[in-house]
């Protein structure tokens, strides 16, 4: 009986088939060429191992038939920790938490995808600057402007928040070293708005 349980457990764990070594190599080669990656010899094998782990994770998540689909992108040769330390920068929120019934009702409302109404700008890349806080604040402001009735999306300048929303005037935000979305939105309100990205 124990042997049968062990076999069943092993079958469940390996429900998502791993790729062959040649399939990993082909995918990694395509990844390196597509994203113009350049590694030293030592780094190459390290990045290949990370890439393989990430591909396995992608395949496992996609096999679970979730509401989203993962795929290989320019960050697929980074560990989760490397990505967090080089491409994010959100500081913990220190303000008051809204516990009103209205807020709770909003959280429990049926989900709605504003992309279907063209109320959000395309995905942007913050690069290696820890400015996710500025990008998310900017995205919220862009959509809010759209929903106010303009019905046009105006791309705004994240760089303005990174450069100008700093220190005690902006909740302790520190440019590429992190910040908080609500502090950035508050700063925009106190400073007569946000520049257009084109400006």
Q: What is the pTM of this model?
A: 0.55
CA distance 63 to 68: 11
Q: Is the pLDDT confidence value at 108 over 80?
A: no
pLDDT of residue 180: 86
Give the up-direction half-sphere exposure of residue 106: CA atoms within 13 A in the CB hemisphere: 6
For residue 181, how many other CB atoms are within 10 A of its CB? 23
* Banded pLDDT at 62 (limits 50, 70, 90): very high
pLDDT of residue 8: 41
Express each pLDDT in 8-32 by its tens digit. Answer: 444 444 455 589 999 999 999 999 9
Q: Is the pLDDT confidence value at 95 over 80?
A: no
* Banded pLDDT at 40 (limits 50, 70, 90): very high
CA distance 190 to 184: 10
More confident residue, 106 or 135: 135
Q: Is the pLDDT confidence value at 93 over 90?
A: no
* Banded pLDDT at 76 (limits 50, 70, 90): very high
Please give the share of the chain, as a percent, with pLDDT higher than 90. Answer: 33
CA distance 161 to 176: 10
Domains of the chain listed by start with CATH number:
20-87 (1.10.287.2250), 101-190 (3.90.70.10)
pLDDT of residue 11: 41
CA distance 26 to 32: 10
pLDDT of residue 175: 85
pLDDT of residue 12: 43
pLDDT of residue 82: 83
Rounded to an integer, the average pLDDT of 168-195 is 86
pLDDT of residue 105: 54
Contact 46, 73 (CB under 8 A): no
Express each pLDDT in 113-152 by its tens digit. Answer: 778 888 888 888 888 888 888 998 999 888 888 888 777 8
């Amino acid at each position: 009986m124990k042997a049968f349980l062990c076999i069943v457990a092993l079958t469940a764990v390996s429900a998502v088939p791993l790729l062959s070594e040649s399939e990993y190599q082909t995918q990694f080669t395509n990844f390196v060429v597509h994203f113009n990656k350049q590694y030293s010899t030592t780094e190459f094998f390290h990045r290949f191992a990370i890439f393989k782990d990430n591909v396995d994770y992608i395949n496992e998540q996609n096999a679970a038939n979730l509401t989203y689909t993962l795929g290989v992108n320019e960050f697929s040769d980074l560990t989760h920790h490397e990505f967090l330390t080089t491409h994010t920068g959100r500081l913990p929120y220190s303000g008051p938490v809204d516990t009103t019934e209205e807020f709770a009702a909003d959280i429990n409302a049926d989900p709605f995808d504003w992309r279907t109404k063209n109320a959000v700008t395309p995905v942007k890349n913050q690069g290696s600057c820890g400015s996710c806080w500025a990008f998310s604040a900017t995205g919220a402001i862009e959509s809010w402007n759209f929903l106010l009735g303009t019905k046009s999306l105006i791309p705004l300048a994240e760089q303005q928040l990174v450069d100008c929303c700093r220190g005690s005037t902006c909740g302790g935000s520190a440019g590429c070293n992190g910040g908080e979305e609500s502090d950035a939105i508050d700063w925009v309100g106190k400073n007569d708005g946000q520049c257009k990205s084109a400006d």
